[in-house]
A and B are shown apart, each in its own frame.
Chain A
Amino acid sequence: MSLVFYLIAALVVAGGLAAMMLKNTVHCALAVTVAFAGLALLFLNLDAQFAGFAQILVYIGAVAILVVFAILLTKGSETPKDGVFSQTWLTGLAVASAVFAVLGWAVLQTAPMLPRATATPVVSVQQIGQALIGQYVLPLEIIAVLLTAALIGAVIVAIHEKEGAN
């Protein structure tokens, strides 16, 4: 665990905390974008170039913008009058701690089983491409069908709105 990892982890945690605690919803969306950027930096720290850049391209370039548009086009951008935190925050804290404990236990249980002291595999983009077309071609095609379904769904929703306006 190096210093760089701790710095990036602090950035991600700060982004997540800010996303929870800020009053203005668009500020929260921008804070979660900072958390995404931190995650991309973690990928890059592990020499996973493709994953890191794809994280920036997809999460910051598309998901963050989608979140911000969704906030803007609904009334979420106005600050709520009676504070940001809900009444039942203690129960929420208990449930979140329980989930975190289970996840942490699962991760730490599997950590000793991983092979140690091997050199980090240098995965080039070519190997990722060949794996996608060779071994993982069925998941690739299924994801393609899923994306097509999402596109067709978006077009259908937009067409209905146009007919509804007419």
Chain B
Amino acid sequence: MFEFLDQIFVILRHWLVSFLPAAWQQPAGVVMSVAVIVVLFPALFALTTVFERKGLARIQNRFGPNRTGPFGFFQPVADGIKSLTKEDIVPSSADAAVHFLAPVVLVVAVYMGFAVLPMGRNMVLVDMDAGLLFYFAMGASTELAVFMAGWSSRNKYSLLGAMRAVAQMISYEVVLLLSSVTVVMISGSLSLSKIVEAQNHYTWGLPHWYIFTPWGLAGFVMYAIAATAETNRSPFDLPEGESELVAGYHTEYSGFKFALFFLGEYLAMFSISGLGTTLFLGGWSAPFSWLGWVPSWIWFFSKLMMSIFVFIWMRGTLPRLRQDQLMNFAWKFVLPMCLLNLLVAALWRFLGDGWVKWAVCSGILIVAYVGMGLLEMRRGHIGPRSYRYAE
């Protein structure tokens, strides 16, 4: 019975497709899965906007939207109607073709990333041998869309915002890739479904998720930092900081195109959280072996929404990083830690089983973290906090 619930979407698709002639069955199945993805994630996006506004509001000690529907749950409907009916203003000196294509390229590139995420047992849209590489290739295409948006608006603020966003995305892309390489090293495959299956084993009831290993925890933290920076979320949202740059690279977009940028940003957040859960948090596998009866897709989406909750929490809590602080952080601190993490993951593989590998790997990472932290603080002349009060 629980296997039926676990595979219910696969069985449903199989049943719906069986009504068609045999030659059309496979393309129809693919089209059906694509349609589900295209509809489901924007629905999640609508839900996330409400959570975000209510969550941020509660962190900031106020209510969020509470007029439209019970507890403001119909706010995304109101936002959708507003953005669809707003006038679409394009500056007269803007480059019309590129201005139109930029949000389209962004949303298309972000949607492609969902094709390789394993959302449940046997629920990958395309099970590619080099799935992880495909995901990063699509992520790289989003940078070009951001640049197109900023340049085509013929606006200094947009261009500055786009340059900053692209510089930030390129720097943190290196960190993102390097922290994922450790997972590939240990699991021995670039295919995301194989990576999840490698984590789906249990010892004494506890799972073999990579986050529960020293190199996995360090890798996950760095992946989370890079993911926040890649999607331009706070505290790395200087490119779209409202107090600095009007709205950065999407200043000159109004109405539905702005909604597309917003959608693209949140979809990128979903897809990068999905990849993070697949690589480090075990994908669709349950946290304890006795919880294996719960359907796998419920675990995947719960972990995804937990990551989104952490994103919202970070946005409400941490102040924004300045551009040079952000870049220094990436190149001088996170990148050396990433390279060290590669070494630690290799040591993990070859030190055999037992407590030796845990002690050595954790020791190396902790010493490096504390040591580099102290070094950076001394170089930046950061000491204990001092206060200066008004007389």
Contacts and interface: CB of A to CB of B under 8 A. Distances in A.
A49, A61, A62, A64 interface centre (most CB from chain B within 10 Å): A61
A57 B113 CA distance: 13
A33 B144 CA distance: 9
B125 to A, nearest CB: 16
Interface in B105-153: 128-130, 133-134, 136-141, 143-144, 147-148, 151
A30 B97 CA distance: 11
B170 A50 contact: no
B140 A57 contact: yes
Interface in A61-85: 61-62, 64-65, 68-69, 72
A60 interface: yes
A33 to B, nearest CB: 7
A103 interface: no
Interface residues of B, number: 27
Given A26-B151, A56-B140, A60-B144, A65 B129 contact: no
Contacts of A126: 188-189
Given A30-B98, A65-B166, A53 B151 contact: no
Contact of A24 (B95, B130, B163, B188): B95
A81 B77 CA distance: 50
A140 B136 CA distance: 22
B312 interface: no
A33 B102 CA distance: 14
A153 B128 CA distance: 37
Contacts of A125: 129-130, 133, 190
A62 B169 CA distance: 11
B30 to A, nearest CB: 16
Given A49-B130, A53-B134, A30 B166 contact: no
A30 to B, nearest CB: 7
Nearest to A77: B151
B130 A65 contact: no
Contacts of B128: 49
B129 A61 contact: no
A88 to B, nearest CB: 30
Contact of A56 (B137, B151, B173, B189): B137
Contact of A124 (B129, B137, B138, B151): B129
Contact of B130 (A33, A53, A64, A68): A53
Nearest to A55: B137
A63 to B, nearest CB: 10
B148 A30 contact: yes
Contact of A65 (B136, B147, B189): B147
Nearest to A123: B129
A54 interface: yes
B147 A61 contact: no
B151 A61 contact: no
B144 A72 contact: no
A65 B169 CA distance: 11
Interface string A91-132: 000000000000000000000000000000000111000000
Contacts of B170: 62, 65
A162 B170 CA distance: 21
A53 B141 CA distance: 11
Contact of A61 (B95, B137, B189): B137
Contacts of A30: 98, 148
B290 to A, nearest CB: 35
A64 B190 contact: no
Contacts of A26: 95, 98, 151
Given A50-B133, A125-B129, A62 B140 contact: yes
B144 A57 contact: no
Contacts of A61: 137, 139-141, 143-144, 173
Contacts of B98: 26-27, 30
Q: Which 3 pairs between the two chains have the least Cβ-Cβ distance?
A: A61-B140, A56-B137, A53-B133
Interface of A: 24, 26-27, 30, 33, 49-50, 53-54, 56-57, 60-62, 64-65, 68-69, 72, 124-126
29 contacts: A26-B98, A27-B97, A30-B148, A49-B134, A50-B130, A50-B133, A53-B130, A56-B138, A56-B141, A57-B136, A57-B140, A60-B137, A60-B140, A60-B141, A60-B144, A61-B137, A61-B140, A62-B140, A62-B170, A64-B144, A65-B143, A65-B144, A68-B144, A68-B147, A68-B151, A69-B163, A124-B129, A125-B129, A125-B130
Given A68-B144, A125-B129, 13 more contacts: A50-B133, A53-B130, A53-B133, A56-B138, A56-B140, A56-B141, A57-B136, A60-B140, A61-B144, A61-B173, A69-B163, A72-B163, A124-B129
